[in-house]
Structure 1
Amino acid sequence: MTKKKVGILFGGKSSEHEVSLQSAKNIVDAIDKEKYEVVLIGIDKDGGWHVNDQSQYLLHAEDPKLITLNKTNEGVAVVPGSTSNQMLNLSTTTSLGQLDAVFPILHGTLGEDGSIQGMLRLANIPYVGTNVLGSAMCMDKDITKRLLRDAGIGVAKWYSYKKHQKDRIQFNEMKDNLGMPFFVKPANQGSSVGVSKVRSEAEFTKAIEEAFLYDYKVIIEEGVVGREIECSVLGNEEPKASVPGEILSSTDFYSYETKYIDESGAKLEIPASLDQQTEDRVRQTAIEAFRVLECEGLSRVDVFLKENGEIIVNEINTLPGFTKISMYPKLWEASGISYPALIDELIELAIQRYERDASLKNTRED
């Protein structure tokens, strides 16, 4: 059997660089080596690309707090439009070979905001995950909420401001309209980076400053009281939803450390304890949100389940974590799809989408 050559892009310039390293390690460990030849391309925090060897692509790989990309002297050049030499090793000026697909396990800015997706499309390479448009829309929490709201899907009440509007943001107005406590978030970050829970004016001032360190736009959002439920979605035109899981956090809210570093910071209840009707509604809401936001391949849809049964969509993550404590693969394992089988399906979905798009005409007939 001829092996498919799959590139794994990991690291990146975002604040979630270390999470991406952990995700890449899990994928490399789990991928079927009999089916796939893996090409590892690590991106450092300055944006430099490095061809890596599987034996030494990470330093301190077992410690989430110290894990580091092992930089090499072998850079990478991307060749737009090529069908067989899409990427070159700059040190040897040789091709990395024809890539059947790329798994861009890059979280956050420049990884799941449409940037890398656009580059891979120009390079004529099938890639795992949502297309350029869907990635960009889901990355921006403000845009996500607007589209979901207009589609009749429940979202938390929110306000958005850009940096030049900073002087207009008034604590008393937010308190009166959103209630207390509320949250301040960068609009274009994930994994709780730069997110603050606000209970006082002093905390509010600090939260605004913190959020604007990570993005030029922030959202200020009501605090929703409800159970934190997550659902994994998989597919292109006909997506399917996993069993839901519940986050039982031991911290004030589901922070970055709780998600990716502190294994005891939250209990994951998989599957979530829900009656069948509620489980069906959560899964259907996840699929509807996936479709409204033009997602493909994979996404994790996070919702709040309020006491009155109302479902509020919190966010859609188009490249969710694949670490050993990440919900996306765990939910599919509980739904009957093993980690290696999940990787297989994601790669096949990427190739199917590429072939579908390649069948479209790009010339006009007179």
Structure 2
Amino acid sequence: MSNNLRVAILFGGTSSEHDISLRSATNVLSELDGRGYDLALIGITREGTWLNYTGDAADVREGDAWASHDVCPVVVVPGDGLFRHEADGTLCRIAVDVALPVLHGQGGEDGITQALLESAGVPYVGCGVLSSAVCMDKDASHRLAAASGIRVPKCEVLYRGATEADMRAAVEACGGYPVFVKPTRGGSSYGVSKVADASEMAHALEVAFALDPKVSVEEAIEGTEVGCAITGDASGKLEMGVVDETVVTDGGFFHIHQDQTAGAAASSKNSSLRCPAQISDDEMACVRETGFAVYRALCCSGFARVDLFVTPAGEVVLNEVNTIPGLTRYSRFPEMMKASGRALADVLDGLIRTAAAGQDR
């Protein structure tokens, strides 16, 4: 296959991770520079409008300056592809061989964009509709993983309007305090709270319900958080980067990307990363085995980051799966791949080629 594939890069989106997507896309564009691709930039505004951006890629880096110039609305036509809706009312096809969604969170990573692309007949990089939707929903992903024999945290789901009795029952089912309260279908760590006792519960639920009408109350797993960067296709051939470890310094939890300032130091001020993770050889073998098992159980394809806990007893427990992990210059997925000798540009190149050939699902 020649290198001059026509690739649509999708970025932005309607989720709380819009700005992170811009940073990821900026780095992806830099990594793909010089690879011979014919790139079409399709930005999605915070309101959900799709725009074909033809201006300077530097304006994608921060904020929404890109959306104010050199843009044309994009129309998705089922069965026929992507089109520019020109000022004179005509539709002009955007020639695309494959799409690379660089989107995070709801609306971009949860199967909605993937379904739109499939309806338009556009091949795309990454997990399919089912896997994307399941992995975004922590309740659904944990249930499916548990059915495959993978250890998951105890979890109860609450909906808006839950009573005090519902809250108490959820905490009791999780083994008591402390618990984590999370938007069930949220991305990154937005809206997540570690709740030490009943006095903190109401506020934690308010924060989580502001982002999702479905909230998970989870058992707090004591242990080391590790991550597995995995690539693979439908043939069953999977590869994993070097496993990393998150070191939290304030007794709280890992909340990278909470800040608006770009850069690893600003975005993970309560934590640091070790790559490789400092765990025993036996624990590492179990982590790798479990990471692959989760990836397969949740029907992942293309690439994903599987986050796990290793308890003091050596038990490996699923945390969550990111089907479009951060791809910024300081993100975990690129760093884990780099540590294994795979540059991000080469990883992306392989993913794009595989998706364009229809071999990833």
Does residue 1:74 correspond to 2:72, yes or no?
yes
Superposed CA RMSD: 2.2
State the Cα distance separating 1:35 from its structure 2 match. 2.3
Offset from partner CA, 1:101-149 (integer Å, 9 cap, x none): 1111110011111100000001111101101011111010000111111
- Where in structure 1 are there 5+ consecutive unaligned residues? 358-366
Aligned to 2:323: 318
Aligned to 1:214: 211
Does residue 1:161 correspond to 2:162, yes or no?
no
CA contact (8 A) 1:103 1:127 kept: yes
Does residue 1:7 correspond to 2:8, yes or no?
yes
Aligned to 1:249: 248
Distance across 1 between alignment mates of 2:329 and 2:259? 11
Does residue 1:90 correspond to 2:86, yes or no?
yes
CA contact (8 A) 1:75 1:91 kept: no
Distance across 1 between alignment mates of 2:227 and 2:259? 13
CA contact (8 A) 1:235 1:349 kept: no
Distance across 2 between alignment mates of 1:356 and 1:343? 13
CA contact (8 A) 2:225 2:310 kept: yes
State the Cα distance separating 1:78 from its structure 2 match. 1.5
CA contact (8 A) 1:110 1:116 kept: yes
Does residue 1:235 correspond to 2:236, yes or no?
no
Does residue 1:304 correspond to 2:309, yes or no?
yes
Secondary structure at 1:232's aligned position in 2?
strand
Secondary structure at 2:22's aligned position in 1?
helix
CA contact (8 A) 1:242 1:283 kept: no
Does residue 1:102 correspond to 2:107, yes or no?
no
Cα 1:177–1:298 shift into 2, 3 Å: closer
CA contact (8 A) 2:189 2:258 kept: no
Distance across 2 between alignment mates of 1:221 and 1:349? 37
Secondary structure at 1:246's aligned position in 2?
strand
Aligned to 1:25: 26
> What amino acid is the match of 1:151?
S
Distance across 1 between alignment mates of 2:170 and 2:136? 27
CA contact (8 A) 1:155 1:313 kept: yes
TM-score, normalised with respect to structure 1: 0.89
Cα 1:172–1:100 shift into 2, 3 Å: closer
State the Cα distance separating 1:181 from its structure 2 match. 1.6
Offset from partner CA, 1:309-338 (integer Å, 9 cap, x none): 000010011011101221111111111110
TM-score, normalised with respect to structure 2: 0.90
State the Cα distance separating 1:173 from its structure 2 match. 5.8
Distance across 2 between alignment mates of 1:317 and 1:79? 28
Secondary structure at 2:211's aligned position in 1?
coil
CA contact (8 A) 1:260 1:326 kept: no
Distance across 2 between alignment mates of 1:304 and 1:277? 14
Distance across 2 between alignment mates of 1:313 and 1:198? 20
1:255-266 counterparts in 2 under 5 A?
255-257=255-257, 261=261, 263-264=264-265, 265=269, 266=271
> Which region of structure 1 is more displaced relative to structure 2, 214-223 or 275-284?
275-284
- Where in structure 2 are there 5+ consecutive unaligned residues? none
Cα 1:260–1:297 shift into 2, 3 Å: farther
Secondary structure at 1:255's aligned position in 2?
coil
Offset from partner CA, 1:37-73 (integer Å, 9 cap, x none): 11111111111122213515626x3xxxx63352134
> Which region of structure 1 is more displaced relative to structure 2, 169-178 or 296-305?
169-178
> Which region of structure 1 is more displaced relative to structure 2, 95-104 or 252-261?
252-261
1:334 to 339, 356, 359: 339
Secondary structure at 2:72's aligned position in 1?
coil
Cα 1:257–1:106 shift into 2, 3 Å: closer
2:115 to 114, 118, 141: 118
Offset from partner CA, 1:251-284 (integer Å, 9 cap, x none): 4211144688562322211111233332221111
Secondary structure at 1:170's aligned position in 2?
helix
> What amino acid is the match of 1:253?
F
2:284 to 266, 279, 295: 279
1:109-148 counterparts in 2 under 5 A?
109-148=106-145
> What amino acid is the match of 2:18?
H
CA contact (8 A) 1:3 1:37 kept: yes
Offset from partner CA, 1:63-90 (integer Å, 9 cap, x none): xxx63352134111112212xx533243
Offset from partner CA, 1:177-220 (integer Å, 9 cap, x none): 42322110010001011111111222100011111111111110
Matched residue count: 349
Aligned to 1:47: 48
Aligned to 2:146: 149
Secondary structure at 2:307's aligned position in 1?
strand
Distance across 1 between alignment mates of 2:173 and 2:115? 42
Cα 1:348–1:260 shift into 2, 3 Å: farther
CA contact (8 A) 1:77 1:90 kept: no
State the Cα distance separating 1:15 from its structure 2 match. 0.8
CA contact (8 A) 1:112 1:318 kept: yes
> What amino acid is the match of 1:347?
I
